[in-house]
């Protein structure tokens, strides 16, 4: 199967790529700033090499408008943050944040996070965030959910021992699905000690505007350790 043919048959994990028209400033930042922040993925390369000087690297899958990504980068200057987001408008928004409040330890990949993960060497990530993803509620779309058993195998490969996987959602069916596969995987251990822990936001897990405006259920904040 050719590369082009394989790409057409690759399991799609996201919906539309672009929303409302961008502002002139956003268009300019996509043309000028984004290329400077886009990592040139190299198979097996230490992800720290994508930054000037960091001690660890974290990955956020589907960062939306980038509020959480930017907050983590500002508050952890010795950590490199790679954010993957195929939605153009979300990337444009975080570029505006970075221009207003520079965060040299952010890299942005405006495409599928699986590209990043497949290129990473063993035990190279200290933390992974999958926060409030599209629940893909229809049964025929469940295959589009990012966290599947196959993906957990890949994350187990690239996450360090003791690294943390954070997952957040307010969608009960998605939470049940995600908990089931994570609890069954031998490489991940739930860090909560009681059910109430799931509903307590960690101090270093800031709320985004999306959460404040769009949540419809009770949010759960799941933390799993790579054992």
Residue closest to 131 by CA, chosen among 59, 40, 29, 41 = 59
3-state DSSP assignment of residue 98: helix
Is residue 112 part of the annotated active site? The answer reads no
Cβ–Cβ contacts within 10 Å for residue 79, how many?
A: 18
Cβ–Cβ contacts within 10 Å for residue 225, how many?
A: 15
Catalytic pick among 111, 134, 170, 197: 134
* Interatomic CA distance for residues 187 and 189, integer angstroms: 7
Residue closest to 178 by CA, chosen among 155, 204, 211 = 155
* Active site (catalytic) residues: 134
């Amino acid at each position: 199967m050719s590369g082009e043919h394989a790409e057409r048959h690759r399991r799609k994990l996201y919906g539309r790529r672009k929303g409302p028209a961008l502002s002139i400033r956003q268009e300019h930042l996509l043309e000028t700033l984004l290329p400077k922040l886009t990592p040139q993925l190299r198979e097996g390369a230490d992800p720290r090499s994508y930054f000037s000087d960091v001690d660890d690297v974290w990955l956020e899958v589907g960062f939306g408008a980038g509020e959480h990504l930017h907050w983590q980068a500002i508050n952890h200057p010795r950590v490199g943050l790679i954010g993957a987001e195929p939605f153009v408008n979300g990337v444009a928004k975080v570029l505006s944040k970075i221009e207003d409040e520079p965060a040299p330890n952010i890299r942005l990949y405006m495409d599928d996070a699986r590209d990043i993960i497949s290129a990473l060497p063993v035990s190279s990530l200290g933390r992974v965030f999958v926060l409030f993803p599209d629940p893909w509620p229809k049964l025929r779309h469940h295959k589009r959910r990012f966290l599947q058993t196959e993906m957990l195998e890949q994350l187990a490969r690239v996450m360090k021992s003791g690294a943390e996987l954070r997952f957040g959602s307010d969608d009960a069916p998605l939470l049940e699905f995600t908990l089931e596969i994570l609890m069954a995987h031998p490489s991940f251990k739930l860090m909560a000690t009681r059910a109430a822990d799931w509903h307590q936001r960690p101090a270093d897990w800031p709320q985004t505007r999306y959460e404040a405006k769009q949540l419809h259920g009770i949010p759960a904040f799941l933390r799993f350790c790579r054992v």
